[in-house]
Structure 1
Amino acid sequence: MKFNSDKIKKIVILILILWILTEIFLISPIAVSVGENAVKSVGDSTTVLERLFVNISSLGTITKLGQYFISGKFMFFSAINIAFWLIILIIAVLKAKDNEYQDIEHGSADWAKNGEQYKILSKKDGIILAKENCLPLDKRGNINVLVVGGSGSGKSASYVKPNVKNCLGSYIFTDPKGELYDDTAGYLKERGYEIKLLNLVNPESSDCYNPLSHVRSEIDVDIIANTIIKGQKDGAGSSSSDPYWDNTAESLLKALIFYLLSCRPPEEQNLASCAEMVRAASSDGNSSTLHEIMNKLPENSPARRNFNNVAMASDKTFSTILSSLQSKLGKFDSKVIADVTSSDTIDFDEIATKKIALYVVASDTHSAYDFLLTIFFSQLIQQLYDYADKHGGRLTVPAFFMLDEFVNIGQIPDFDKKISTSRSRAISFSVVVQNLEQLKAVYEKTNETIIGNCDTLLFLGSPSYSTLEYFSKQLGEKTITHYNVTHNRKAYTGQTTGFSDSDQIMGRALMTPDELRRMEGDKCIILERGVKPIKADKYYYYEDKTYLQQLKSAAIDHNAYECTERGNYRIFNPNNPYVDKQTEINNTKIEELMNDLFVDASKTTDNSNDKLESNVNTGNENEINKFITESSSNNNKFIIDSDDDTNVDFEDVDIDIGEELRKKYAELFADDDNAEF
């Protein structure tokens, strides 16, 4: 049973006052009256009633009053009085029991007080949210944070940069201007971090990232192709007015990617090669180049299957598909972009095993390469999840994604599912946006799921009304008492004839949208699951003088970054495919030897065993055996192309030269049982 303590206190005080008054003004006169008229009043109700209302003056002097206070008669009636008021008190207390919503009928919202938030949060350890308010890494629930703050609200200065200080694990930063790298990369490097930089603003000062190097399944190819085709918007805001062109261009791109991955060497497996293949096909007029390449593949190969989706189109339609795809791949014609995306110097698995700080610099003024960011983060997140699943369910080193200007990344496939399962894998996402409308625009169907999977919301201030309204509702309502005074006036003269007052219980928002808009610039609001809202002071990194000095002393320029590990790459040209020198020598020699075999075979028309042995050139046999031995010892790779007019296409297939020559010899001289090689 729940009681209203305030109401009980009032009742007890009131009962005590009434008891004292009755003791003085009622019980004492009764005691005197009964004592003096005990005999007369027996059975005489009139006399008793008269004595009940006798004035206190009947007690006489103070001395006489004192005598009766200690008399047995007074004690008797006083005990009866006490018992009476105790019964009244019990009845009043029972009626004063509280219901579930007593005094909070319209809401119980209030600010966290007296440090009650520390039953979940910490003062120093974990992800810094505000001054003396940190998010412990071992708290129940997830450690994903949704940070909402308009331009100039301190998203970087009061959240991202302060969280570099504690060096909690590997970091993945989005860095629109490169300023975060300049201010923090040196600090982390001095503390043992390996620094990586993907710079799409100045690609010459960047590590390399090749999307095709991270393909592990057909789904990965689907994501790459879909993002390139449908992730690039035209001026109207959509990728294409007719989905047919997007769908067919996507199928063709998948065919090209599968072909490169299965048939070309690693140095040619890049998106620049895809762009070159499309250009070559467009230049030959009837697109025969791609048909010739794909027709050599097995029918059940992924490349052939996807190509068949567009192969039956008319020449005009196929040409339009090629043009559509060529426009989507046009960015890879740039040499600097081809340089960045054709080799790979970022090992995603290392982020899970050692402390790495990865900075992704992309322009916040245009969206030209947003599709590339989408592919990058999609592959990175998936690969970290895969690593965790294969190594006990958690990353060896926790990974913290600090995603400033999150919506510039584009729509990461299945991000709502990823963020909902990140905690168990030691992955934390800090989603930083200017307002909630941005998030809804990119994640139209899943934005609420993403918000719902962030146990912590940090509001830094925003001019957006819908965002203000959302946080006002999240703060909740409290119950207040509104005092009303009503004046009564005459209808014609306006003269006041009286007034009345009343108390009205009503609800109001803990903070209205207008109050949130006018919130002090150095204040922030933390909404943490399980505790009341917290209004706190922002933690500006530059107010920590020691930390600021450490950052300044280690500052470096992101434009001076040098990647010394860039690998070699080559762009595949289907009209003039590259064949390395040794392979070309091997192919030429094999062709000459095979021609000699055919010449020898034409001279054995009679199929006589003696003639056969005499017609086989001993020199050729010795040369073949010598070449077989050398090729086997060198473990050379080569390609046999049955079409004299077509260049080599499959360089990754290992063939046993000796075995192939013996098979061919047996095939040529199958009629002679005694033929030997």
Structure 2
Amino acid sequence: MLFLILAILSTWIALAGFGVVSKNTGIQDWIIDRGEHRAAVIKGFLVSTVLALWLLSLVAFFGTVGDLKGIAIVVLGIWLAIPVFVIRVILPLLDRDEHGSARFMTPRETDQWTEANNKPAGLLLGRDAKGRDVRYAGEAHLITVAPNRSGKGVGAIIPNLLTYSGSVLVVDPKGENARVAARKRTEIGKTYVLDPFDTTGLATASYNPLSRITADNPDAADDAAALADALVVRGPDDDSHWDDEAASFLEGVILFVALHEARERQHLGTVREIITETPERFNQILEIMQDCGGLVARTANRFLGKSEREASSVLSTAQRHTKFLDSERMTRVLGTAAGLSFSELKKNQGTTIFLCIPPDRLDTYGRWLRLMVNEALQDMASTDRKPDLPVLFLLDEFAALGKLQSVKRAMGLMAGYGMRLWPFLQDLSQLKATYGDVAQTFFANAGAVQWFGVNDIETAKQISETIGQQTVVMRESDGDTSSHARSLLTPDELMNLPNETQILMFQGKRPLPCQKLRYFDDPAFSGMWDVDPQR
């Protein structure tokens, strides 16, 4: 009996000592890789052999010959029974995976991942069971799915604003990220805050989207089309005739304003002014456009060739999509002067641009965010220079941007333009409602996906399906075994994870449960951030 206890203890020591068994943030008590488990069992058996010899030597030294023979027989029997038990019972259980072989990263795999991604390009995602940073340094995009007030800002956005040395564009609906991290970002590089509603208390910059549409720009028409696409918010199905016609009409008007109006009138405020003119003045402008030639003339000709009813519908649709430009705050931040250039994100590493707008204004002024993100992506595509560190787009409240062709194209690319997109979603239904069937492409092209705080069943079901199933073996009362499929994490388990726990999934790797970050009580971020006066 003493030997059996020692053998079990030695096998346990081998399992723990060689890193096969580990506690993992309360999700699953044991994380076992079968190949490593076999090796550990063998090592445990060898240790038990040494203990057996040690026990026999004690008996030989202190006991009689009879004692030695008796103990030797018992020890030999148990010693031979252990490998038989392992071979006949343990290993067959480990080998059965006909219903699925899903598992989490092993400690050894986690070690390899943390070491390989501990680079300047590595984006902070969390901490592993040993307290080490878990980063993603790949070139693909990232996605975070987590509900409101679950820690996206404190655990993902702000930690990376405080530590990432590359350029960053961040959608900052509450202005909190700028209030907390702007000082640190200024130490890293030049920092701009676009804040039409003064949510941050910081000086606001301006950006004029028409400044890049010039006569010597061979892509002027394409840039005008992309700008019109950003102004017109479409549904997921892309089947609205009136939206398409309004976008086409706005494209021509934008090109007219950028190339043929006086310099001080070359801004979106003039576009809004033209399409809301009196009928008499509007028709006069269309006649002027007909004399401009090219796309501008074709736009005017197409509009004048429509029936009165169709033309009225196209014009009213264009007016609806540009109504946000009636705000003086919008026209100020969209500026008559050129203002900043998004190309600085690539040209000057460490540049930061905060896009701030109050959450209660998103429904009305979300188009401004769309416009800014679209323009930034256009500049990324048209700037040939590839930075040493990819430009990071932290797209909080991603659903508020609506469907953008430039975002869809960018998510379909990897590192071609030297940038990484990081959309933040509250749940999967948001992405499906915006992009329809294309939503799955976002996840297929993501190098890292972060899940935490899941509180809706549909999202939990999809995560559970994505993580996969494992094979669970049960021993029946008659001694036979049967195998069954079980989700590695069921929807219920996902919805009841501890608040500090998250699930990370990296392309081509096993899922990794780990701890979330909280910059404000983490010594690693001490001295980097400022207290938010509005909290």
TM-score, with length taken from structure 2: 0.74
Q: Following TM superposition, by how much is the alpha carbon of 1:254 offset from its aligned partner in structure 2, in angstroms?
A: 2.5
Per-residue deviation, 1:179: 0.6
Q: Structure 1 residues 104 and 308 mapped into 2: Cα distance closer, same or farther (>3 Å)?
A: same
For 1:518, the equivalent position in structure 2 comes to: 496
Tell me: CA distance 1:322–1:385, structure 2 relative to 1, closer, same or farther (3 Å).
closer
CA gap of 1:544–1:243, structure 2 versus 1, over 3 A, is: closer
- Aligned-partner Cα distance in 2 for 1:311–1:104: 69
Shift of 1:194: 1.2
1:153 partnered with 2:150? yes
For residue 296 of structure 1, report the CA deviation from its aligned partner: 2.7
Preserved contact between residue 352 and residue 395 of structure 1 (Cα < 8 Å):
yes
**Residue 349 of structure 1 is aligned with which of 343, 356, 363?**
343
Shift of 1:550: 3.1
Distance 1:228 1:479, change over 3 A: same
Alpha-carbon distance in 1 for matches of 2:241, 2:303? 11
Residue of structure 1 equivalent to 2:421: 429
Matches within 5 A, 1:450-529: 450-485=442-477, 500=478, 502-529=480-507
- Structure 2 counterpart of 1:347, one-letter code: S
Q: Which residue in 1 is equivalent to 2:287?
A: 292
Answer with 301-310 or 327-336: which moved more.
Answer: 327-336
* Correspondence for 1:226: 229
- The one-letter code matched in structure 2 to 1:428 is R
Sort the Cα spacing of 1:281 and 1:523 in 2 relative to 1 into closer, same or farther, 3 A.
same
The match for 2:366 among 370, 392, 401 is: 370
Whichever residue aligns with residue 327 of structure 2, its letter is: S
Structure 1 297/347 Cα, relative in aligned 2: closer, same or farther at 3 Å? closer
Equivalent residue runs for 1:374-385 within 5 Å: 374-385=370-381
Report the secondary structure of 2:446's partner residue: coil
State yes or no: 1:121 paired with 2:114.
yes
The 1:254/1:400 distance shift into structure 2, 3 A limit, reads: closer
Structure 1: distance between partners of 2:345 and 2:290: 41
5 Å-filtered alignment, 1:540-619, equals 540-545=518-523, 547-552=525-530
Alignment of 1:525-540 (within 5 A): 525-540=503-518
Using a 3 Å threshold, how does the CA distance of structure 1 residues 245 and 528 change in structure 2: closer, same or farther?
closer
Deviation at 1:510, TM superposition (A): 1.2
| Alpha-carbon displacement from aligned partner over 1:274-328 (angstroms, at most 9, x marks no partner) | 22222334255xx531243124333xx1111111111123556545544443343
- DSSP-derived class of the 2:276 partner: helix
Which secondary structure state, in structure 2, belongs to the residue aligned with residue 505 of structure 1?
strand
SS, match of residue 98 in structure 2 = coil
Q: Given that residues 478 and 508 in structure 1 are in contact (C-alpha distance below 8 angstroms), is that contact kept between their aligned partners in structure 2? A: yes
Partner of 1:196: 192
Following superposition of structure 1 onto structure 2, how do residues 156-175 of structure 1 map, counting pairs within 5 Å?
156-175=153-172
| Alignment partner, residue 205 of structure 2 | 207
Residues 1:143 and 1:556: Cα distance change in structure 2 (over 3 Å): farther
**Closer/same/farther in 2, CA of residues 543 and 303 from structure 1, 3 Å limit:** same
Q: C-alpha separation between the residues in 2 aligned to 1:552 and 1:288?
A: 55
* Shift in Å, 1:265: 2.8
Tell me the SS of whatever aligns to 1:470: helix
Gap change, CA 1:527 and 1:381, over 3 Å in 2? same
SS of equivalent residue, structure 2 residue 436? coil
1-structure distance, mates of 2:279, 2:467 = 59
Distance, in Å, in 1 between the alignment partners of 2:474 and 2:463 is 25
Question: CA-to-partner distance for each residue in 1:325-366, whole Å, 9 max, x for gaps?
Answer: 334333222222222223332211211122211111123333
Contact 2:147 / 2:453 at 8 angstroms: preserved in 1?
A: yes
What CA distance in whole angstroms lies between the structure 1 residues aligned with 2:92 and 2:184?
57
How far does residue 433 in structure 1 lie from its aligned partner after superposition? Answer: 0.9
CA contact (8 A) 1:149 1:435 kept: yes
* 1:522, distance to aligned residue in structure 2 (A): 0.6
Q: Give the TM-score of the pair, scaled to structure 1.
A: 0.59
**Counterparts of 1:319 and 1:407, CA distance in 2:** 30
Whether the aligned pair in 1 keeps the contact of 2:140 and 2:445 (CA below 8 Å) is no
Q: How does 1:46-445 map to 2 (within 5 A)?
A: 102-122=95-115, 125=119, 126-131=122-127, 132-137=132-137, 139=138, 142-189=139-186, 191-202=187-198, 206-215=204-213, 216-231=219-234, 243=240, 245-282=242-279, 284=281, 287-298=282-293, 301-314=294-307, 318-319=311-312, 321-343=314-336, 344-354=338-348, 355-365=350-360, 366-387=362-383, 390-391=384-385, 394-445=386-437
Q: In 2, distance between residues paired with 1:439 and 1:156?
A: 19
Q: What code does the residue aligned with 1:110 have?
A: R
| Separation (CA, whole Å) in 2 of partners of 1:144 and 1:309 | 40
Aligned to 1:79: none
Residue 480 and residue 178 in structure 1: after superposition, are their counterparts in 2 closer, same or farther (change >3 A)? same
Answer whether contact 1:105 1:479 (CA < 8 A) is retained: yes
Q: Is contact 1:248-1:310 (8 Å) kept?
A: no
Percent pairwise identity: 21
Structure 2: which amino acid aligns with 1:345?
G
Closer, same or farther: CA 461–269 of 1 in aligned 2, 3 Å = same
Equivalent AA in structure 2 for residue 339 of structure 1: R
The residue type equivalent to 2:151 in the other structure is: G
Contact 1:222 1:254 in 2 (8 A): yes
The AA in structure 2 aligned to 1:208 is S
Is the 8 Å Cα contact of residues 223 and 375 (structure 1) preserved in structure 2?
no
Q: Is the 8 A contact 1:198 1:361 kept in 2?
A: yes
Q: Are the equivalent residues in 2 in contact too, given 1:127–1:163 (CA < 8 A)?
A: yes
What is the CA–CA distance in structure 2 between the aligned matches of 1:247 and 1:402, rounded to whole Å?
Answer: 29
**Higher Cα Rg: structure 1 or 2?**
1
Q: Provide the aligned C-alpha RMSD in A.
A: 3.9
What secondary structure is seen at the aligned counterpart in 2 of 1:305? helix
- Give how far 1:263 is off: 1.5
One-letter amino acid of the counterpart of residue 457, structure 2: Y
Unmatched segments (≥5 aa) in structure 2: 1-34, 47-64, 66-86, 214-218
C-alpha change, 1:133 and 1:476, in structure 2 (3 Å) is: farther
Alpha-carbon distance in 2 for matches of 1:424, 1:256: 32
Structure 2: how far apart are the matches of 1:172 and 1:320?
36
Q: Could you tell me which residue of structure 2 aligns to residue 447 of structure 1?
A: 439
Deviation at 1:258, TM superposition (A): 2.0
Which has the higher relative contact order, 1 or 2, with Cα contacts under 8 A spaced 6 or more apart? 2
Q: State the one-letter code of the partner of 2:449.
A: L
Q: Pick closer, same or farther for the CA change 1:245–1:476 going to 2, 3 Å.
A: closer
Mapped contact 2:179–2:530 kept (Cα < 8 A): no
Q: For the Cα contact (< 8 Å) 1:149–1:434, is it kept in 2?
A: yes
Go from structure 1 to structure 2 and tell me whether the alpha carbon gap of 1:272 and 1:457 turns closer, same or farther (over 3 Å shift): same
Which consecutive aligned stretches of 4+ in structure 1 deviate over 6 angstroms post-superposition? Answer: 98-101, 555-558
Partner SS for 1:161: helix
SS of equivalent to 1:457: strand
- One-letter amino acid of the structure 1 residue matched with residue 206 of structure 2: C
Pairs within 5 Å for 1:635-650: none
Extract unaligned runs of 5+ from structure 1: 14-61, 63-93, 486-499, 559-677
Indicate the residue corresponding to 1:579 in structure 2. none
Equivalent residues, number: 449
| 1:369 alignment partner, SS class | helix
Provide, for residues 443-483 of structure 1, a one-character-per-residue CA deviation record: whole Å limited to 9, x for no partner.
Answer: 11311111111121111121111111111122222222213
SS of the counterpart of 1:444?
Answer: helix
Contact 1:155–1:460 (8 Å) recurs in 2: no
Contact 1:353 1:397 in 2 (8 A): no
Taking a change above 3 Å as real, the CA distance of residues 431 and 101 of structure 1, as seen in their structure-2 partners, is same
